[in-house]
Chain A
Amino acid sequence: MTKKKLFQHPWKYKEGILISISLVIIGLVLGLLTKKPISSPAFPTNLSLIVTYTLLLFAVYKFEYKRHIVQWLSGIPAAISSTVLFAFLAALLGFIPQVSTGMLMNDSLLYNLGLTHLTTSWLFAFGYIFFVTTLGFATVKNFMPIKKKRIGVLLSHIGLYIIILAGIAGDGDIKRTYFILPNNGEPTDIVKDFNSETRYNTPFKLKLNKFDIKEYNPKIVLVDAKTGNIIKQNNSRNFSAKNNAVADFKEWKLKVVDFLYSSAPADSFYASFNETDTLGSLPSAFVEIYDKNNKLINKDWITCGNFVWFRKNIYANKNYYFAMLSPEPKEYSSDVTAYLPEGKKESFTLKVNSPKTIMGWKLYQTGYDDTKGRWSNYSVIEAGRDPWLPVVFTGIFLLIGGAFYLFWLGGKSLEEEEEKESELN
């Protein structure tokens, strides 16, 4: 038997590798020539593209199956080649820091090749199309005919096919914008795009009634005075301030005598603190430092400082001091009212991890003025719209079904008699 020449049928892995490399080169060259990120098509182009492409895959598979290229594309060597290419692109994404498209302006080689915005580059588009094509053919193959034994395989393939097609299609139609709602502000319908900062108007208005934030007690840490680095120690790394809390740091013992969650300096020297809830009030603590022999070496008030007050630390010796860190948020939420058309109103609370849908827009608590913490005078609410979401979720649930099947099957389709040997005790 003579050795098969390159691109002599049937194609195998060598051809797959060559096709992948060509796609990479063409993608990079196109990127260099156009020097611009590409964007996914929006509705209705994306919908018609998807439908046409899927029907085309079915038709080609059904009527042109005899062609070698179709057999190759629906076979394993092409599937593996395209997955390797896709994994290669994912690895690039995983190594090279990506810049959001709104901020693109530099002229570096990485940028021109499309590598700083890979998901919107020609390179990615080609890899993606190759992957979708082999995945699509594999899906179609499992459909014609549907075999009961391979139902899990079918579920996985079709689920993944739907997810990645609808995901990219959705990219063209998705809107991710945000409201900045001031305390006691007027209802507004102006939102800005997260990437491009373009202004849009929502079909409803939103008003912030009250922004509420709960914070954890602040941590107290030991700092190297020369470098400014926090000294990490296992037992005291997460030392939170509270009354009578004691912790060991290096050779010292720190005791919190009095902790005030909301306070302000009583005088301009910060010599003592009073409990208060006025604007800018912040946590403070009266602490004592003991040395190895349990001798009191220093005591004073410390505070983390904020936009109103200065930070105040306490020195253990000339090289080390204790500092209070700014408190971390535990929970923050916005009481808002949505003003719908025809004079209707709806009030609700938005919290991280509990969004709310109004007229097809999903609203999220996203942020606040973190320089001011609990005195923030605005709340940032994300307003997102993704009409393709139900399609993507359908794909996700199909793939979850496939995953359960895979678990149950455990590779049994590969070898029938393996159950006996699978005891790995």
Chain B
Amino acid sequence: MNWINFPYIAIPSIVLLVISSLVVIVPINKKLRTIIANTSSVLAILLFVYFIISLWINLDRPPLRTLGETRLWYAFFLPIIGIITFNRWKFFWFLGYSNLMAIVFIIINLTHPETYSKTLMPALQSYWFVPHVVVYILSYAVFGVSWIVSIVGLVNFKNKDNKKLLQIADNIVFIGFAFLTLGLLFGALWAKEAWGHYWTWDPKETWALLTFLVYLIYIHLRSFHKGKVRIHFWVLSISFVFLLAAWFGVNYMPSAKNSVHTYSQQE
């Protein structure tokens, strides 16, 4: 298989991923729904396994070099993580989100086959690129949801259900924190390969650590002081501000002028 054959893989897998994401709104019983979601996701993933392997054989090298190939791996990993998380935690929205992201990457590959939308500098050309970015995409998405939950909790504070709401938030935060930790650690392992050291207190690293620490504080607060619901909603919503600072804010801070992470400032 080659990129020319990609539509034969891409279109069926888009259809399968759409089915897997939308089956939730069809009024059928829960068991059947789960079976359909699982089957279609697994089929889509298998199509990608087949395409990646045959492309690999065809190219005679791992398809990890170009941006298009990178997107292929996103489209492969996102549904896997989506379906695992779904089976474990029954989050339909998460399955839908990861499938949607995968579909976006597939469509970009269909419409812009192998073109460079941006030049990829050598430090980014690594097999760590995909796992590092994929887990961060997911963790940020999950924390985004937890932030919405915290705002809902703060706005409807009088509501009796907010303890339940906080439990949902905990569940989401744990998952997001697991991905965040993986992202941070994959980043460290990658940095060792690319820049010679796993930790250099680069501003982006510092802010990623700070995000890690504030969610760590939330988790510890929640584990041991269950009663103080309002404070917890506040901590959770403020944590997200740190996340946003780490994500977008760093490039604008005085400390960023020496950052190796500000790829956009080349000119």
A residues with a Cβ closer than 8 A to B are: 76, 79-80, 83-84, 86-87, 90-91, 93-98, 119, 167, 174, 176, 216, 221, 230, 238, 240, 325, 328-332, 351-355, 362, 364, 366, 382, 384, 386, 389, 392-393, 396, 399-400, 402-404, 406-415, 418-419, 421-425
In the complex the two chains form, is B175's CB within 8 Å of A90's CB? no
The reply to whether A119 and B201 contact each other, CB–CB distance below 8 Å, is yes
Number of residues on chain B facing chain A (CB within 8 A) = 71
Name which residue of chain A comes closest to B96, CB basis: A425
| Interface status of B122 (Cβ within 8 A of chain A) | yes
Q: Contact at B178–A407, with CB atoms within 8 Å?
A: yes
Whether B255 pairs with A93 at a CB distance below 8 angstroms is yes
Question: Are the CB atoms of B217 and A404 closer together than 8 Å?
Answer: no
Flag whether B257 is at the interface (Cβ < 8 A): yes
CB distance from A42 to the nearest CB of B (A): 17
Closest to B246 in A: A94
B-side interface residues toward A, CB under 8 Å? 24, 88-93, 116-123, 125-126, 145, 149, 164, 167-168, 170-175, 177-179, 181-182, 185, 188-189, 192-199, 201, 203, 206-207, 209-210, 213-214, 216-217, 219-226, 245, 250, 253-255, 257-258, 266-267
Contact, CB under 8 Å: A84 / B217: yes
Q: Tell me whether chain B's interface is mostly helix, strand or loop, or mixed.
A: helix
* Set of chain A residues within 8 Å of B201, measured between Cβ atoms: 93, 98, 119
Q: Is the CB of B125 within 8 A of A352?
A: yes
Asked if A407 contacts B121 (CB within 8 A), the reply is no
Given B117, B171, B182, which contacts A400 in the complex, CB threshold below 8 Å? B182
10 contacts between A and B (CB under 8 A): A83-B216, A94-B255, A95-B254, A176-B197, A238-B117, A393-B189, A403-B177, A407-B179, A414-B226, A425-B24
Closest chain A CB from B70 CB (angstroms)? 14
Q: Is the CB of A410 within 8 A of B119?
A: no
Q: Please tell me if the beta carbons of B174 and A410 are within 8 angstroms of each other in the complex.
A: yes
6 pairs of A and B residues whose beta carbons are closest in the complex? A407-B178, A352-B122, A411-B170, A411-B174, A87-B213, A403-B181
Chain A residues with Cβ below 8 Å from B88 are 407-408, 410
Docked Cα-Cα span, A90 to B222, in Å, equals: 22
Report Cα–Cα, A425/B22, bound state, in Å. 12
Task: State which of A176, A330, A409 has its C-beta within 8 Å of the C-beta of B174.
Answer: A409
* Residues in chain B near residue A119, CB distance under 8 A: 201
Q: Is the CB of A216 within 8 A of B119?
A: yes
Contact B92 A423 (CB under 8 A): yes
Contacts A400-B182, A423-B90, A425-B24 hold; do A366 and B196 have CB atoms under 8 A apart? yes
Q: Are the CB atoms of A418 and B121 closer together than 8 Å? A: no
With A80-B217, A418-B167, A422-B168 as contacts: A353 and B203 at CB distance below 8 Å: no
Of A87, A328, A392, A402, the contact of B214 (CB 8 Å cutoff): A87
Bound complex: CA A62 to CA B27 (Å): 59
How far is B223's CA from A415's CA once the two chains are assembled, in angstroms? 9
A-side contacts of B203, CB under 8 Å: 94
Cβ-defined contact, B198 with A392, below 8 A? yes
- Closest partner residue, chain A, to B118 (CB atom): A238
In contact, A414 and B170 (Cβ under 8 angstroms): yes
Q: B171: which of A404, A410, A425 is its contact (CB, 8 Å)?
A: A410
Question: In the assembled complex, which residues on chain A have CB atoms less than 8 Å from the CB atom of B217?
Answer: 80, 83-84, 87
Contact A90 B206 (CB under 8 A): yes
